[in-house]
Amino acid sequence: MKFSLKAKEGSARVGVIETSRGSIQTPVFMPVATQGSVKALDNYDLEKIGAEIILGNVYHLNLRPGSDLIQRIGGLHKFMNWDRPILTDSGGFQGFSLQHLRKISEEGINFKSHIDGSSHLLTPEKVVQIQFELGSNIWMPLDVCLPPDSNFDQIDEALGMTSRWMERSLDAKKEFCGDLFGIIQGGLFTELRQKSVDMMTSFDLPGYSIGGLSVGESKEEMYQTLAFTTQQLPENKPRYLMGVGSPEDLLVGVKNGVDMFDCVLPTRVARNGALYTRFGRKNITNKLYRELDEKFDELCDCYFCENFSVAYLHHLFRSKEYLAYKLASIHNLRFLVNLMNQIRVSILNNQFENFYIDYLNEYKIADEHQRLLQRKN
């Protein structure tokens, strides 16, 4: 993997990540294909949307169908017939989101399967091996992600374990070929974020992920921690903000020098009838859309907006037709791909600051309570 910067405005950057499966223009939003599929969409949809890279998950793919089976078939690219880059997450986040089904020890994370209750131990070495078997392009190491209300000592202890796991991951990687990022943790404590950056950058990795944010903290806390963390990271390596995907968060992330984003939020809210627009989210199930025979978003070139009326999608949702989830998901992902395209152009033209201000002045942000509910559901 090779990363090169093409332009900067302040901390905002335009770059290119070169992989064996093609180039990725950054900043980039990555749709989440947790189990080898972006919910409600197929690969043709993703290609038409303009997705350059997607994300899979070690925990879920190892449980079902199993990384050994995927390897025998020819790897995850062949298994899902996707020829562009794939990033795989390690399962560390599931150690946070599935706290009731896991136990963390020095050895690794022991999960009780949410499918059949069977026991599965993910160690740093096993996670590296699974990603090799999947054949993904960018790998994440196993890490410890704690809730935002964890105290200083708890997070400090978790950082020590994450660092030791990183060393074990790198030792295991000597047997395999893959690009392994480091993950920066540290909760909301700047001292611990700095400590995590120092530990991870000492390994001189091909890229760095920022974890432990958008996990229940306020937006103000997230933005402050993000701004501090990105300032400490190497300029010449890609920076990946994990689990963040609302339009306003993407803009703030780019402003602070983030290059890569992923989140299930755009497709999750889409399946509940919430569609992105330049001025905020609109709920298509609202009765005011029942007879609206016009294009949903005049600025959007997605398959839904180009071919169907607002009233039709409203009808599909009210009738609980599966096509509703597909069309809404296509729209939200295309919206974010277009947003990232606009951001890159604005940086190249040295107009990002104006674009940022104008966009957020007009965009109505979902309220904080609703945002936290979305993270849980």
- Residue 280's H or E segment, with its range, is strand 280-283
Cite the beta strand spans of 31-153 per DSSP E.
Answer: 54-57, 86-89, 102-104, 109-112, 119-122, 138-139
> Coil, strand or helix: which one is 233?
coil
Q: Which residues contact residue 64 at a Cβ distance below 8 angstroms, ignoring those fewer than 6 apart?
A: 35, 115
Angle between helices 190-201 and 219-232 (to 10 degrees): 40
Which position among 143, 179, 259, 262 bears the catalytic label? 262
Q: Residue 333 and residue 323: Cα distance in Å, rounded?
A: 16
DSSP state of 84: S
| Burial of 101: CB neighbours in 10 Å, binned 0-12, 13-18, 19+ | middle
Which position among 89, 143, 179, 249 bears the catalytic label? 89
| Burial of 25: CB neighbours in 10 Å, binned 0-12, 13-18, 19+ | middle
CB 203 within 8 A of CB 187: no
Active-site residue, 262 included: yes
Q: Which of 364, 365, 343 is nearest to 12 (CA)?
A: 343
Q: What angle do CA 128, 153, 164 make, to 5 degrees?
A: 25
- Residue 95's H or E segment, with its range, is helix 92-97
Active-site residues, by number, are: 89, 262
